[in-house]
């Protein structure tokens, strides 16, 4: 589980307190009785949840002697307590619940405290671990790319999972707007992935990018991700942080097994795995995943 040193956020969606007043005359204060609600949809003990996954928590309180006078609910994250409920009352029976969601990963201790009229306090707590399940992805496997004059195209749309040929793009501005990257064989056999707005790609006459009206600004990072790690990616994935400081408009000198991180103009993250560069050099077999 990846943990970030961030304060967990919480939204109190619904909370209710029910009180009824009743006094008892008893010289012995047994203290309040605090019970965490369990069963059904309630979370009542240590648990692991996903970001933005709601949980329902609640407590009941009673007193056989002195009336209940105060209830407090706090969340403690990174040793920092945050109080969300601190209410006073004068009752011998107490009922409270609320729905909670967390907006960042980490651990949080939920602390419930109850006092009676003699300031006798009882407390209960449990810990919630918040994880990030990762982003939903689309995966396109064994996608073939060719040279500019091949029947197999050189230009890829991540929104469609389709490879386009040069002829499908030169006069179609709507198709141009779908293209996020292209593959070509550069100088000295330098197999290259490039953004449509890459300056060098735009100097290659055969690609005809100079005539395009719409050129998406895709950016790339190199990675240390292995082929095995890429192949293990299932339906969700937590992408590496995209480094804006080292971003580039192309990645050349590609090697088989290499994995490249990219970010589309719309902000979606993806990975390109170079499965095969073939012997001819200006063709490639790529595996691609992209954030939904």
Count of other CB atoms within 10 angstroms of residue 187: 9
When the pLDDT of each residue in the chain is averaged and rounded to a whole number, the result is 88
Do 21 and 103 fall within a single domain? yes
Q: How confident is the model at residue 135 (pLDDT cuts 50, 70, 90)?
A: confident
Nearest to 59 by CA among 88, 18, 12, 11: 18
Do 18 and 118 form a contact (C-beta atoms < 8 A)? no
pLDDT at residue 13, rounded to an integer: 34
Do 99 and 142 fall within a single domain? no
Q: What pTM does this model have?
A: 0.61
Identify whether 10 is part of a domain: no
Residue 188 phi, psi (nearest 5): 55, 45
Identify whether 6 is part of a domain: no
Alpha carbon separation from 72 to 66, 96, 118, 219, 269 (Å, rounded): 18, 11, 16, 49, 42
Among 131, 161, 179, which residue terminates a domain?
131
Do 122 and 139 fall within a single domain? no
Do 165 and 279 fall within a single domain? yes
Most confident of 7-11, 174-178, 183-187, 240-244: 174-178
Do 111 and 72 fall within a single domain? yes
Q: Supply the CATH number for residue 51's domain.
A: 2.60.40.10
Identify whether 3 is part of a domain: no
Do 38 and 170 fall within a single domain? no
What is the domain range of residue 79? Answer: 15-131
Identify whether 4 is part of a domain: no
Q: pLDDT of 220-258, one tens digit each?
A: 999 999 999 999 998 889 898 899 999 999 999 999 999
Identify whether 40 is part of a domain: yes
Do 173 and 265 fall within a single domain? yes
Do 163 and 120 fall within a single domain? no
Do 196 and 177 form a contact (C-beta atoms < 8 A)? no
Q: pLDDT of 51-105, one tens digit each?
A: 888 999 999 999 988 999 999 999 999 889 999 999 999 999 999 999 998 877 8
Do 62 and 143 fall within a single domain? no
Identify whether 1 is part of a domain: no
Identify whether 139 is part of a domain: yes
Instruction: Answer whether residue 202 shows pLDDT above 90.
Output: yes
Nearest to 62 by CA among 25, 19, 97, 26: 19
Q: pLDDT of 2-22, one tens digit each?
A: 333 333 444 333 344 444 444
Q: How confident is the model at residue 281 (pLDDT cuts 50, 70, 90)?
A: low
Do 97 and 15 form a contact (C-beta atoms < 8 A)? yes
pLDDT at residue 105, rounded to an integer: 82
Count of other CB atoms within 10 angstroms of residue 95: 16
Do 97 and 162 fall within a single domain? no
User: How many structural domains comprise the chain?
Assistant: 2
Identify whether 285 is part of a domain: yes
Do 19 and 113 fall within a single domain? yes
């Amino acid at each position: 589980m990846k943990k970030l040193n961030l304060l967990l956020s919480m939204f109190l969606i619904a909370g209710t307190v029910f009180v009824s007043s009743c006094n008892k005359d008893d010289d012995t204060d047994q203290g309040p009785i605090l019970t965490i609600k369990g069963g059904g949809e309630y979370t009542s003990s240590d648990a692991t949840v996903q970001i933005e996954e709601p949980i329902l928590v609640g407590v009941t309180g009673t007193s056989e002697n002195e009336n209940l006078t105060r209830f407090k609910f706090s969340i403690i994250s990174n040793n920092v307590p945050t109080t969300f409920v601190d209410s006073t009352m004068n009752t011998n029976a107490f009922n409270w619940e609320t729905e909670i969601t967390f907006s960042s990963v980490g651990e949080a201790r939920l602390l419930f405290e109850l006092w009676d009229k003699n300031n006798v306090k009882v407390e209960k707590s449990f810990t919630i671990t918040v994880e990030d399940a990762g982003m939903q992805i689309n995966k396109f496997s064994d996608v073939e790319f060719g040279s500019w004059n091949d029947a197999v195209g050189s230009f890829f749309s991540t929104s469609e999972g389709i490879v386009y040929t040069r002829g499908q793009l030169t006069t179609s501005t709507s198709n141009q707007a779908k293209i996020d990257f292209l593959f070509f064989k550069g100088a000295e056999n330098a197999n290259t992935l490039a953004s449509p707005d890459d300056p060098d790609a735009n100097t290659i006459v055969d690609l005809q990018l100079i005539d395009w009206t719409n050129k998406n600004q895709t950016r790339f990072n190199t990675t240390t991700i292995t082929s095995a790690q890429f192949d293990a990616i299932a339906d969700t994935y937590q992408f590496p942080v995209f480094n804006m400081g080292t971003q580039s408009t192309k990645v050349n000198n590609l090697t088989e097994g290499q994995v490249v991180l990219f970010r589309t103009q719309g902000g979606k993250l993806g990975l390109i795995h170079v499965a095969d560069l073939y012997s001819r050099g200006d063709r490639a077999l790529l595996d691609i995943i992209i954030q939904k």
